[in-house]
């Protein structure tokens, strides 16, 4: 599963080679569902709806059940995820120290709402409950890297740097 | 083999039960009631809600009795104060998440949650907390979902996934946000739902119900310019009484007609007559296919709109097997707006046909664009058995005390064959009565084709007509339909005529029928009682073969000419479309 195809926006309708391969590697056995979803998430960066439908036909599991699994585990997502996932903690400690302002600023700068991804698939905004770093509140993370005692200015700096890197 | 019995003690009473019974079964057998919520016999036995907990001596804590098997020598207590307290906590939690709306809820008076609240003497809400706002899904023409009244028992999920083998609904999301919904959290209208309505039958609360269209009927009844006609399906008369405390399986035809007339309908007609037309057309279509070498066989019946939607979505390549006949109430509607309108000199645009049906899929069917003639729709409104009962209650009519009345002329008397349309195997039997006479060119005495009666989901029989063997199958429930379709798809079908109904047991168990609680369903064979009611109507009928129906013969002579004629095709037949299962965009 090495070759990364950018399927996220492609509507070319051509045969999906990755899926075809997946359906030969795995037997149509219900027990393979999670494992196959892992590979799909890894490959596409999310679990596209049409893939869930094909998987449902392949494994003979109702699509609603697959959708239920995808929405249950936080490691699966229904939308393409940006290259940078910026999560702002809205847990009690962080909230009290003003993390909402950081989140608002993020939305304002990227022009998307929490949970959404930018058009260029660079950024995804996420809001989380307590991430267990209350001592550092308010906290935000970029792809898991924690920024503690954060201010709106800190966020701006991080964003500027990333935008510069990406050109 | 002799059944092995075991003995246990429940609330100090000695009980002997079959090995393998649950404690709940055993208690009920001993007339000891244990409250349940998520339990639905044979369908949802998961032990999730813990409403049915009991105490077993020698074990710590409480055990859900709906899944725990009874064991030899067990000593069980079902109603000690600590158990009652624990159940109350569970109930309090459920209620605190519930949109309490009983005064305006479709299920008030027949709600398992309301019953529990009454039973536990709930007086206030213990844990008022944050509730999620849920949008109500009322997009489809058949079914409304209101998640704010859902208790997450999953009875609907099990019914849809296992009984019907559809899986249109399931548990989605996690934690606080988890709920029962569809692919993409879409409307049932935009997923693989067939509108069979079996999930409504399984729901203990008002979270799932039909799309109510009573108010439009009232509007039309108020309008002096509007000629409002009711027609009633066979299965309605076998169940309507239940909503007024009359025993299950009582035939209330006469009272139902009186009630409809009191409500102000200008005419009350019998859809059974429509069923007689369906038989004429269908038997004829079958004989044509059977005697022509290159025709598509087996032919499958098409009077169950949930089933039609199912094949359109799941096996579009098999659509040529489907009979082109409209369902009885659609045929009848078309005849009312043409033959009857002309005969009585009424402008068909002023006629408003209301079909009273045991079915929620028929609400969808009547909105299909094929279901009209010259732009005039066959049927204007479909209401369920339950909705009719509500109208009768609204009008303050004391149903039990009503006198009997008869269906109106000139579309009056139907045959016994039309009556049994409401139960699995009935359409087949009715069609065979007519087909054998046509093929033999004489009036035969064989009336009862008992092999296609009974409760099995798939019934096969071979019938000898005029030296020719015809193999027939009757299947009910969509899981069984799937078995038959797979056989046809894989070239393994050696039969020529198939009857399929979407609801297990046929229309008597339709999604629009009175809803029975989990307890009643476990203890009483509702299907059998309602079906027997229809078989006895058939037995008591003077005419039991559709082609001998007097009014039908007259209408063919004066208007339709012959079965399968051009005009019959335009009015009584239809066509089908391939349907997408899901509306998805990535
Ligand atoms: S579902 Fe039952 S408890 Fe809830 S509002 Fe309706 S009748 Fe009341
Ligand atoms: S109406 Fe039938 S197919 Fe649709 S969700 Fe309910 S049980 Fe499933
Ligand atoms: S919709 Fe009804 S049957 Fe389905 S889980 Fe909710 S309460 Fe139970
Ligand atoms: S509240 Fe933000 S880390 Fe705990
Ligand atoms: S756990 Fe037994 S009824 Fe729910």
Give the model confidence (pLDDT) of B265-315 as tens digits. 999 999 999 999 999 999 999 999 998 888 999 999 999 999 999 999 999
Same domain, A147 and A96: yes
Supply the pLDDT for residue A4: 40
Bridge partners for B229 per DSSP: B267, B353
User: To test ligand 3's pocket by mutation, which of B51, B146, B207 has the most ligand atoms within 8 angstroms of CB?
Assistant: B207
Residue B28 near ligand 3, beta carbon < 6 Å: no
Supply the pLDDT for residue B294: 87
Supply the pLDDT for residue B410: 73
Active site (annotated) includes residue B112: no
Looking at the CA of B113, which ligand is closest? 1
Same domain, A43 and A117: no
Query: For B5-79, CATH number?
Result: 3.10.20.740
Same domain, A34 and A57: yes
Which of A52, A72, A92 finishes a domain?
A72
Supply the pLDDT for residue A144: 86
Active site (annotated) includes residue B507: yes
Structure tokens at B128: 């008022």
Whether A2 maps to a domain, the answer reads no
**Candidate list B282, B312, B387, B413, residue with the active-site label:** B282
With beta carbons under 8 A apart, name residues in chain B contacting A52: 183
Same domain, A55 and A112: no
Distance (Å) from the C-alpha of residue B315 to the closest C-alpha of chain A?
Answer: 13
Supply the pLDDT for residue B234: 95
Cβ–Cβ pairs < 8 A, chains A and B? 56
- Residues A43-67: tens digit of each pLDDT: 988 999 999 999 999 999 999 999 9
Question: Residue B125 — very low, low, confident or very high, per pLDDT cuts 50/70/90?
Answer: confident
Contact B250, B533 (CB under 8 A): yes
Active site (annotated) includes residue B282: yes
Among the listed residues B443, B421, B437, B432, the one whose alpha carbon sits nearest the alpha carbon of residue B470 = B432
Nearest residue on chain A to B160, judged by CA atoms?
A62
Contact A67 B174 (CB under 8 A): no
Same domain, A108 and A152: yes
Asked whether the predicted pLDDT for residue A7 surpasses 50, the reply is no
Supply the pLDDT for residue B447: 62
Same domain, A98 and A143: yes
Distance (Å) from the C-alpha of residue A139 to the closest C-alpha of chain B?
Answer: 23
Which of A8, A42, A72 finishes a domain?
A72
Q: Which helix (H) or strand (E) holds B392?
A: helix B385-394
Asked whether the predicted pLDDT for residue A111 surpasses 90, the reply is yes
- Residues B73-109: tens digit of each pLDDT: 999 999 999 999 999 999 999 998 899 889 999 999 9
Instruction: Say what angle helices A17-25 and A33-44 make with each other, to 10 degrees.
Output: 160
Q: Note which residues in 132-191 of chain B have CB less than 8 A from chain A.
A: 161, 166-174, 178, 181-184, 191
| A131 CA: nearest ligand 4 atom | 3
Q: Which CATH fold would you assign to the domain B93-210?
A: Alpha-Beta Plaits (3.30.70)
Supply the pLDDT for residue A128: 86
Active site (annotated) includes residue B303: yes
A127 in reach of chain B (CB within 8 A): no
| B207 CA: nearest ligand 1 atom | 1
| B24 CA: nearest ligand 5 atom | 2
Of residues B160 and B583, which shows the higher confidence score?
A: B160
Asked whether the predicted pLDDT for residue B129 surpasses 70, the reply is no
- How high does pLDDT run on average in chain A? 88
Task: Give the class (CATH, top level) of B214-572.
Answer: alpha beta
Active site (annotated) includes residue B323: yes
Asked whether the predicted pLDDT for residue B207 surpasses 90, the reply is yes
**ipTM of the complex in this document:** 0.90
Q: How far is the CA of B242 from the centre of ligand 1 (A)?
A: 20
Q: How far is the CA of B96 from the centre of ligand 1 (A)?
A: 12
Residue A103 near ligand 4, beta carbon < 6 Å: no
DSSP state of B558: I
- Residues A115-150: tens digit of each pLDDT: 888 988 899 998 888 888 999 999 999 988 999 999
Whether A5 maps to a domain, the answer reads no
**Residue nearest to ligand 4 atom 1, measured at CA:** A91
Residue B499, CA atoms < 13 Å, CB-side half-sphere: 33
CA–CA separation, B498 vs B505, rounded Å?
15
Contact A49 B581 (CB under 8 A): no
Contact A67 B183 (CB under 8 A): yes
Helix/strand/coil for A124: strand
Q: Report the residue of A10, A62, A115 to disrupt the B interface, i.e. the one with the largest count of B CBs within 10 Å.
A: A62
Q: Which helix (H) or strand (E) holds A18?
A: helix A17-25
Whether A1 maps to a domain, the answer reads no
Domain residue ranges of chain B, discontinuous segments joined by +: 5-79, 93-210, 214-572
Q: How far is the CA of B45 from the centre of ligand 5 (A)?
A: 8
With beta carbons under 8 A apart, name residues in chain B contacting A61: 167
B585 in reach of chain A (CB within 8 A): yes
Whether A12 maps to a domain, the answer reads no
Whether A91 maps to a domain, the answer reads yes
With beta carbons under 8 A apart, name residues in chain A contacting B586: 48-50
Same domain, A152 and A98: yes
- Residues B209-255: tens digit of each pLDDT: 999 999 999 999 999 999 999 999 999 999 999 999 999 999 999 99
A53 in reach of chain B (CB within 8 A): yes
Supply the pLDDT for residue A14: 59
Distance (Å) from the C-alpha of residue B180 to the closest C-alpha of chain A?
Answer: 9
- Residues B433-450: tens digit of each pLDDT: 888 888 777 666 666 677
Q: How far is the CA of A90 from the centre of ligand 4 (A)?
A: 7
Asked whether the predicted pLDDT for residue A5 surpasses 80, the reply is no
With beta carbons under 8 A apart, name residues in chain A contacting B169: 64
Which of A32, A48, A72 finishes a domain?
A72
With beta carbons under 8 A apart, name residues in chain B contacting A74: 174
With beta carbons under 8 A apart, name residues in chain A contacting B173: 71-72
Distance (Å) from the C-alpha of residue B583 to the closest C-alpha of chain A?
Answer: 10
Among the listed residues B310, B235, B254, the one whose alpha carbon sits nearest the alpha carbon of residue B530 = B235
Range of the domain at A94: 84-166
Q: Which helix (H) or strand (E) holds B538?
A: helix B526-540
Q: Cβ < 6 Å from ligand 5: which residues?
A: B 36-39, 47-52, 64, 66
Supply the pLDDT for residue A3: 39
CA–CA separation, B280 vs B277, rounded Å?
5
- Provide the domain count of chain A: 2
Whether A96 maps to a domain, the answer reads yes
Contact B365, B310 (CB under 8 A): no
Asked whether the predicted pLDDT for residue A100 surpasses 60, the reply is yes
- Residues B465-475: tens digit of each pLDDT: 778 888 999 99
Q: What is the DSSP string of B69-118?
A: BP-TT-EEES--HHHHHHHHHHHHHHHHTS---GGG-TTTTS-HHHHHHH
Q: What is the 3-state secondary structure (H, E, C) of B251-280?
A: CCHHHHHHHHHHHCCCEEEEHHHHHHHHHH
Supply the pLDDT for residue B372: 85
Same domain, A93 and A28: no
Active site (annotated) includes residue B362: yes
Q: Which helix (H) or strand (E) holds A107?
A: helix A99-110
Whether A33 maps to a domain, the answer reads yes
Q: How far is the CA of B90 from the centre of ligand 3 (A)?
A: 16
Task: For chain B, give the percent of residues with pLDDT over 90.
Answer: 80
- How high does pLDDT run on average in chain B? 93
Contact A53 B174 (CB under 8 A): no
Q: Note which residues in 56-85 of chain A have CB less than 8 A from chain B.
A: 61-65, 67-68, 71-74
Q: Is the pTM of this model over 0.80?
A: yes
Whether A6 maps to a domain, the answer reads no
- Residues A12-46: tens digit of each pLDDT: 555 678 999 999 999 999 999 999 999 999 898 89
């Amino acid at each position: 599963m090495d070759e990364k195809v950018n399927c996220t926006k492609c509507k070319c309708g051509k045969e999906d080679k990755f899926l075809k391969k997946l359906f030969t590697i795995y037997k149509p056995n219900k027990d393979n569902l999670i494992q196959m979803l892992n590979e799909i998430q890894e490959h596409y960066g999310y679990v596209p709806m049409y893939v869930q439908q094909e998987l449902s036909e392949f494994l003979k599991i109702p699509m609603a059940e697959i959708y239920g699994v995808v929405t249950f585990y936080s490691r699966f997502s229904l939308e393409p995820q940006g290259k940078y996932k910026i999560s702002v903690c809205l847990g009690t400690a962080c909230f009290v120290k003003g993390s909402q302002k950081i989140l608002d600023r993020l939305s304002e700068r990227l022009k998307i709402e929490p949970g959404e991804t930018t058009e260029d698939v660079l950024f995804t905004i996420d809001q989380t409950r307590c991430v267990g770093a209350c001592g550092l509140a308010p906290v935000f993370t970029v792809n898991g890297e924690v920024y503690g005692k954060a201010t709106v200015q800190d966020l701006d700096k991080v964003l500027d740097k990333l935008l510069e890197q990406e050109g | 083999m002799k059944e092995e019995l075991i003995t246990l003690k429940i609330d100090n009473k000695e009980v002997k039960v079959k090995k393998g019974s649950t404690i709940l079964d055993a208690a009920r057998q001993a007339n000891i009631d244990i409250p349940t919520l998520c339990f639905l016999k044979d369908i949802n036995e998961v032990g999730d809600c813990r409403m049915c907990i009991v105490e077993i001596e020698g074990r710590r804590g409480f055990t859900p009795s709906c899944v725990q098997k009874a064991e030899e020598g067990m000593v069980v207590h079902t109603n000690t104060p600590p158990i009652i307290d624990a159940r109350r906590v569970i109930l309090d939690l459920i209620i605190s998440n519930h949109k309490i709306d009983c005064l305006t809820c479709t299920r008030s008076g027949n709600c398992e949650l309301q019953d529990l609240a009454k039973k536990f003497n709930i007086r206030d809400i213990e844990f008022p907390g944050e509730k999620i706002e849920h949008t109500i899904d009322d997009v489809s023409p058949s079914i409304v979902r209101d998640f704010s009244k859902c208790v997450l028992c999953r009875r609907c999920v099990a019914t849809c996934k296992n009984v019907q083998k559809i899986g249109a609904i399931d548990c989605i999301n996690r934690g606080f946000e988890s709920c029962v919904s569809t692919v993409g959290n879409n409307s049932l209208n935009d997923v693989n739902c067939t509108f069979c309505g079996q999930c409504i039958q399984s729901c203990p609360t008002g979270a799932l119900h039909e799309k109510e269209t009573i108010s439009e009927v009232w509007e039309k009844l108020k309008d002096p310019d509007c000629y409002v006609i009711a027609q009633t399906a066979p299965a309605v008369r076998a169940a309507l009484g239940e909503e007024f405390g009359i025993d299950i399986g009582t035939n209330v035809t006469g009272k139902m007609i009186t009630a409809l007339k009191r409500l102000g309908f200008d005419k009350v007609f019998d859809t059974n007559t429509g069923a007689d037309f369906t038989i004429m057309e269908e038997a004829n279509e079958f004989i044509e296919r059977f005697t022509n070498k290159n025709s598509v066989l087996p032919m499958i019946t098409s009077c169950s709109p949930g089933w039609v939607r199912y094949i359109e979505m799941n096996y579009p390549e098999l659509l040529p097997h489907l009979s082109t006949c409209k369902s009885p109430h659609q045929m009848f509607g078309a005849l009312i707006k043409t033959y009857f309108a002309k005969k009585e000199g009424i402008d068909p645009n002023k006629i408003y046909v209301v079909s009273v049906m045991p079915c929620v899929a028929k609400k969808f069917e009547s909105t299909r664009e094929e279901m009209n003639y010259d732009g005039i729709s066959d049927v204007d409104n479909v209401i369920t058995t339950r909705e009719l009962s509500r109208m009768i209650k609204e009008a303050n009519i004391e149903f039990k005390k009503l006198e009997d009345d008869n269906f109106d002329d000139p579309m009056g008397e139907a045959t016994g064959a039309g009556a049994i349309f409401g139960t699995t195997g009935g359409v087949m039997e009715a069609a065979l009565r007519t087909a054998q006479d046509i093929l033999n060119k004489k009036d035969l005495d064989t009336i009862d084709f008992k092999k296609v009666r009974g409760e099995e989901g798939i019934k096969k029989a071979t019938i000898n007509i005029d030296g020719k063997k015809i193999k027939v199958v009757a299947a009910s429930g969509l899981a069984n339909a799937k078995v038959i379709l797979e056989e046809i798809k894989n070239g393994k079908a050696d039969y020529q005529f198939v009857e399929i109904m979407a609801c297990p047991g046929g229309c008597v168990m339709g999604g629009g029928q009175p809803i029975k609680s989990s307890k009643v369903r476990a203890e009483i064979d509702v299907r059998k009682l309602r079906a027997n009611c229809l078989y006895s109507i058939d037995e008591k009928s003077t005419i039991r073969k559709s082609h001998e129906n007097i009014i039908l013969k007259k209408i063919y002579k004066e208007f339709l000419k012959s079965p399968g004629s051009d005009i019959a095709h335009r009015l009584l037949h239809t066509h089908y479309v391939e349907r997408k299962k899901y509306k998805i965009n990535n």
